[in-house]
Amino acid sequence: MAKTKFPEGFLWGGALAANQVEGAYLEGGKGLTTVDLLPTGEKRFELMLGKVDSLRPVEGFFYPSHEAIDFYHTYKEDIALFAEMGFKALRVSVSWARIFPNGNDEQPNEEGLQFYDDLFDELLKYGIEPVVTIAHFDVPVHLVEQYGSWRSRELVKFFEKYATTLFERYKEKVKYWMTFNEINMLLHLPFVGAGLVFKQGEDQNQIKYQAAHHQLVASSLAVKACHEIIPDAKIGCMLAAGSTYPYTCNPEDIYSAMEKDRESFFFIDVQSRGEYPGYAKRFFRDHNLNIQMEPEDEELLKNHTVDYIGFSYYASRVTSTDPEVLKQMTGGNVFGSVENPYLEKSEWGWTIDPKGFRITANQLYDRYQKPLFVVENGLGAVDEVTPEGEVIDDYRIDYLAKHVAEMAEAIEDGVEILGYTSWGPIDIVSASTGEMKKRYGYIYVDKDNEGNGTLKRLRKKSFHWYKQVIQSNGANLENEGGK
């Protein structure tokens, strides 16, 4: 077997989000969150964009987060399976509304706090490091109703209190934190990223960038509090990454690709370098955006930058300035992209680009010179259970093996990477479509798009493969054919 390129202590594992796994959406004192209002079907996308007419679930729709995969009740069995694969880390998120049901309650909800205490204890029992995202696509609905969510500066202090409550409570248990999941998603799916609901005729850019500023300030306050309360912890940001390629070597295309990447880098430039980059200020000027900032913000952002760069990588993107080329668009983690003629796509149209993973990792490391943490990567695919009760997901093994191999190359390039938590190690609800059919897991969950199924768990072929990858610390990526 080849020698491993991964450092000792590399954090292999998986990543989940509260709203996509827990279910129990009103149990244990939890309040309603934005994600609880997202049904399956066509309506979902409209809502995610901020076109929301009801802040309560509506009869006749199916809401997949309400039960999800019932992780709230099954976490012990599920964690035992992760431990069987040899996980060193599990990324989870805390649901804000489990801790503060309205988002701004005086006192936290003890039942919610206790749930995560138990969850972290269960992980630590197996030596699995919890990696915790403070906000993964959910805002308590009460804050949307009362304040318009992140368009209001008030949210900064509510978030600070929420984050501080978590740091105080879990300071002995959690040493890896992240503030906002895929913070750049706010620009693409504003209701998902920031609970933003728009009225007709509003300047959406103005509202989005103002909300972004509030999240950036809130993020730096969380970094500050984390460093004060848990000095030996590391706290990072989280970017939906994936480099944008120019379609041709026409400088117009090159520039356009750079601009596209900067749309995302802007957030991390602030969180990691501590100030608004010149190109962002120019963007605000050119678009007549007037971002309200408090006098203390500049210093806050400067003094409390993140310790590492967390990112998700699923696909690269392609852009062009040629209107004809722009007609050949494909899907991909919400970011539209021109089809890349050199690459294959997943069943959901997401480009499959392992080399792009190495490119992205190098690009991020060159730019920020801070350790990276790959906190999401994986293939959403349809799985079939054979009559013998097996799932032979060679396509998933192939995707993951190629990506892990490129990550190893990035490490050889000198990129510092703390760990790799692949997305959805157990099948979960898809964030973009709400489907169960779009599966990422090493563990199959018996549930369909309509909510039918026994919720029974089943080890897929990739389960055994990933166990071997972890055991060999990334040296053995072979698909050895075991079931």
Among 240, 280, 309, 426, binds ligand BG6 (CB under 6 A): 240
Least distance (Å) between residue 352 CB and ligand BG6: 14
Q: Which stretch binds ligand BG6 (CB under 6 A): 220-228, 316-324, 400-408, 426-434?
A: 426-434
Site string for ligand BG6, 182-221 (x = CB under 6 A): x---------------------------------------
Q: State which of residues 10, 11, 13, 17 lies at the interface with ligand BG6 (CB under 6 A).
A: 17
The token duo for 442 is 């090493």
Task: Give the whole-angstrom CA distance, residue 19 versus residue 34.
Answer: 10
Told to judge if 168 belongs to the known catalytic residues of this protein, a careful annotator would answer no
The reply to whether 427 sits near ligand BG6 by the rule CB under 6 A is: no
Which listed residue (182, 376, 406, 435) is catalytic? 376
Least distance in angstroms from the C-beta of 431 to ligand BG6: 3
Q: Is 377 in the site for ligand BG6 (CB under 6 A)?
A: no
Q: Does 112 bind ligand BG6 (CB under 6 A)?
A: no
Interface segment toward ligand BG6; rule CB under 6 A; list 113-121, 319-327, 429-437, 445-453: 429-437
Options 148, 380, 419, 441; binder of ligand BG6; rule CB under 6 A: 380
Least distance to ligand BG6, CB of residue 91, Å = 10
Q: How far is the CB of 430 from ligand BG6 (least distance, A)?
A: 4
Query: Which residue in the set 33, 104, 179, 181 belongs to the binding site for ligand BG6 (CB under 6 A)?
Result: 181
Examine residue 431 and tell whether it contacts ligand BG6 (CB under 6 A): yes
Least distance in angstroms from the C-beta of 449 to ligand BG6: 13
- Convert residues 18-57 into a mask of x (bound to ligand BG6 by CB under 6 A) and - (unbound): --x-------------------------------------
3-state SS track over the chain: CCCCCCCCCCEEEEECCHHHHCCCCCHHHCCCEHHHHCCCCCHHHHHHCCCCCCCCCCCCCCCHHHCCCCHHHHHHHHHHHHHHHCCCEEEEECCHHHHCCCCCCCCCCHHHHHHHHHHHHHHHHCCCEEEEEEECCCCEHHHHHHHCHHHCCHHHHHHHHHHHHHHHHHCCCCCEEEEECCHHHHHCCHHHHHCCCCCCCCCHHHHHHHHHHHHHHHHHHHHHHHHHHCCCCEEEEEEEECCEEECCCCHHHHHHHHHHHHHHHHHHHHHHHCCCCHHHHHHHHHCCCCCCCCCCHHHHHHHCCCCEEEEEECCCEEECCCCCHHHCEECCCCCCEECCCCCEECCCCCEECHHHHHHHHHHHHHHHCCCEEEEECCCCECCCCCCCCCCCCHHHHHHHHHHHHHHHHHHHCCCCEEEEEEECCECCCCCCCCCCCCECCCEEECCCCCCCCCCCEEECHHHHHHHHHHHCCCCCCCCCCCC
Contact 144, 195 (CB under 8 A): yes
Q: Does 441 bind ligand BG6 (CB under 6 A)?
A: no
| Cα–Cα distance, 234 to 137 (Å, whole number) | 21
Among 95, 184, 312, 462, binds ligand BG6 (CB under 6 A): 312
Q: Which of residues 322-361 bind ligand BG6 (CB under 6 A)?
A: 333
Which residue's Cβ lies closest to ligand BG6? 432
* Residue 179 found at the interface with ligand BG6 (CB under 6 A): no
Binding range to ligand BG6, per CB under 6 A, among 70-78, 300-308, 399-407, 425-433: 425-433
User: By C-beta, is 182 or 406 nearer to ligand BG6?
Assistant: 182
Stretch that binds ligand BG6, among 101-109, 196-204, 393-401, 423-431 (CB under 6 A): 423-431
Alpha-carbon dihedral angle through residues 115, 118, 122, 124, given to the nearest 10 degrees: 110
Interface with ligand BG6: number of residues (CB under 6 A):
15
Q: Would you count residue 239 as binding ligand BG6 (CB under 6 A)?
A: no
**What is the binding site for ligand BG6 (CB under 6 A)?**
17, 20, 181-182, 240, 312, 333, 376, 380, 423, 430-433, 438
Active-site annotation, residues: 376
